[in-house]
Structure 1
Amino acid sequence: MLTDSHCHLDFPDFDGEHAEIIARAQAAGVTRMVTICTRMAALPNVQAIAEAHENVFFAAGIHPMSAAKEPPVSVDDLLAIARHPKMVGIGETGLDYHYSADSAAQQKASLAVHIQAARQTGLPLIIHARAADDDMAEILTSEHKNGAFSCVMHCFSSGPELARAALELGFYLSMSGIVTFNKSQALRDIFAAAPLNRILVETDAPYLAPMPHRGKRNEPAYTAHTAAKGAEIFGTSPEAFAAATEDNFNRLFTRAAS
């Protein structure tokens, strides 16, 4: 059994296909999914998808690339959403300087709100980090000193220094289809150096489809391809890798586990 710890089932790519997509995931051994809300306007649709399917949970936040475009979310807003029994995480939030460096100040302010909500709810923070390793490591480290919170570095594809900083804080690294790409050996090495009890798997569907589906629409069923590569990276069997990542998911996303 596997869990796709991060996908976007509300995106238009999947309109009208949710039942079929979930059925294909289950047939591939992907028994749970967390669908991620990236802007508050999408929350009703995200929530409805989770409510309609027993094995689908959701998280909510403002994506860093939208931090300057969307109305800001408050800690109280996130606390209110977190009362929903299928809300299992805060985010995704974080920093993205690859496309949105001009909104760094707004991104940092939004991230601070999400961190405070994660502290208060006890739900894990879901971090998106791209081209912002130094700032991301500094903020997470300093904020954690001010009050602990749990966290997953979603779709981890940053450098070894940010990986080490996250792991030292007790955080988790989530493995996406990027690890299956031919030119991703440096990323595979980062994962191989991490403890297996801090690894999750995800698709980030509809993006980043793993081999052999690269370039096509991604979907939760393809978590199985990423997990197969993960087992290879850690030198273990697919069954042992799946069991480990399930334990890790349950430890971090306690509301989905219960």
Structure 2
Amino acid sequence: MLVDSHCHLDFPDFAEERDAIVSRALETGIGWMVTISTRVKTFPRVLAIAEAYEQVYCSVGTHPHNAAEELDVTADQLVRLAQHQKVVAIGEAGLDYFYDKAPRDAQAKGFRTHIAAARITGLPLVIHARDADADVAAILEDEMGKGTFPFVLHCFSSGRGLAEAGVALGGYVSFSGILTFKRSDELREIAAHVPRDRLLVETDAPYLAPQPFRGKRNEPAYVKETAAVLAKAIGVADKEIAEITTDNFFRLFSKTPRP
């Protein structure tokens, strides 16, 4: 049994066959999926999907690309929305200096707002970090000094320094289909050095389909491909990586009921 800890089932890519997508995941042995919020104003759509499927849960938050649109979102608002039984995480929030779709000060403000909500609720913050390793690490260290909070560095593709900083602060590291790409040797080396009790897998679907599906639309069923490569990278069997990442998921996403 595996968990897709990060996907976007509300995206238009899945609109016409969402039932089939979820069914394929379950048939493949993906027991749970977390569909991730990218805008608070569209959160009701995300929540409706989580409510429609027993095995699907969700987060609430604002992606850094959209930070400038939702600077009025408060930690208290996030906390209130997170009261719903299907909401098991805060985010995704963080910093993206690759696309820079929102001003960096807006991204940082949103990031800190989401950290405050994670601290209050005890729900894990799903962190998006791209080309912003030093600033992400600095904000995490600064905010952790104000009070601890759980978090995961999602779709990890950053450098070893951020992985080590995240783990040192108590965070988890989640790997996507990028881990399977031919040129991802360095990323696989980083994964091999992440403590086993901090590893997660995800798809980030509909993006970043793993080998052998690269270039196609991604979906939760494909998380098994990433898990297989992660197993090889750390030197364990596929069954063991499933046990490791599933146990880690329920430890971090502790609001999700485990059968």
Q: Shorter chain as normaliser: what TM range?
A: over 0.9
- What is the correspondence of 1:85-234 to structure 2 with a 5 Å cutoff? 85-100=85-100, 103-234=103-234
Contact persistence 1:95–1:136 (CA under 8 A): yes
Partner residue, 1:80: 80
Contact persistence 2:8–2:205 (CA under 8 A): yes
1:219 CA drift (Å): 0.2
* Cα deviations by residue, 1:19-58 (Å, 9 ceiling, x for unpaired): 1001100111111000001002221111000001000000
Contact persistence 2:203–2:209 (CA under 8 A): yes
2:108 and 2:59 map into 1 onto residues whose CA distance is 19
1:130 and 1:164 map into 2 onto residues whose CA distance is 16
1:120 CA drift (Å): 0.4
Corresponding residue SS for 2:98: helix
Partner residue, 1:56: 56
1:68 CA drift (Å): 1.5
Partner residue, 1:32: 32
Unaligned runs of 5+ in 2: none
1:6 and 1:132 map into 2 onto residues whose CA distance is 20
Runs (4+) of structure 1 moved beyond 4 Å?
A: none
2:135 and 2:84 map into 1 onto residues whose CA distance is 32
1:101 CA drift (Å): 7.0
Contact persistence 1:188–1:233 (CA under 8 A): yes
Percent identical pairs in the alignment equals 53
1:102 CA drift (Å): 6.0
TM-score normalised to the size of structure 2?
A: 0.98
Task: Check if 1:23 corresponds to 2:17.
Answer: no
1:151 CA drift (Å): 0.3
Task: Report the aligned-residue RMSD.
Answer: 1.0
Contact persistence 2:65–2:101 (CA under 8 A): no
1:71 CA drift (Å): 5.1
2:224 and 2:36 map into 1 onto residues whose CA distance is 19
1:23 to 1:102, Cα distance in 2 relative to 1, 3 A = closer
Range 101-110 or range 180-189, more displaced? 101-110
Task: Check if 1:251 corresponds to 2:251.
Answer: yes
Partner residue, 1:65: 65
1:240 to 1:111, Cα distance in 2 relative to 1, 3 A = same
2:72 and 2:206 map into 1 onto residues whose CA distance is 25
Length, aligned pairs only: 258
1:72 and 1:100 map into 2 onto residues whose CA distance is 20
2:175 and 2:249 map into 1 onto residues whose CA distance is 12
1:102 and 1:151 map into 2 onto residues whose CA distance is 22
* Cα deviations by residue, 1:84-135 (Å, 9 ceiling, x for unpaired): 0010000000000111176110001011110000000000010000010000
Amino acid at match of 1:130: R
